[in-house]
Amino acid sequence: GNVNTAASIVVKLNTAVEGVVGSYNGTYAKAQAARNNVETFEYVGGIMATSRPFCVSMVGSILNADDIQNIWDGEHWAGKEPGDPFVVRGGYNCRHYWVPVEE
C-alpha cells in the first residue's frame, strides 16, 4: 500500500520532542519555584478531543506540591507514566504543565 514513511517519522519525532520539552519545562518550573519559595502551582493547558479525563478535571486547579503528589500517587489513568508529576505531567504525550503561582 501507500505508506508515507517520512510523515510517520515526522509525527514520531514531533511527539518525542514535545515530550522532552515538556519534561524539561516541568523540571525547570519546579526548580524555579523551589528557589523562590513558591509552593503553589496551577495545572494549565488547553483541552483537546484526546485530553485524558485526568487532565480535563485538573486544568485550572491550583494546588500545593504535597496535594499534587498525593493526587498523583492515589489516582490511575490510561497513559499515566511513573515519575515526578511535575516532569511527566498527565502522562505520555501530555501537553499540560504545572505552573508556579506566586502569591
pLDDT digits (tens, 9 = 90+) for 30-60: 999 999 999 999 999 989 898 999 899 999 9
Q: Is the dihedral of CA 76, 82, 86, 88 positive or negative?
A: negative
Mean pLDDT estimate for the chain: 88
* Angle 68-74-76 from CA coordinates, rounded to 5°: 105
> What does the pLDDT read at residue 3?
67
**Dist. CA 10–CA 23, nearest whole Å:** 20
- pTM for the model stands at 0.79
Give strand ranges (E) for 2-101: 40-44, 62-64, 97-100
* Closest C-alpha among 79, 61, 23 to residue 71: 61
> What does the pLDDT read at residue 14?
83
Query: Between residues 65 and 91, which one has the greater pLDDT?
Result: 65
> What does the pLDDT read at residue 69?
93
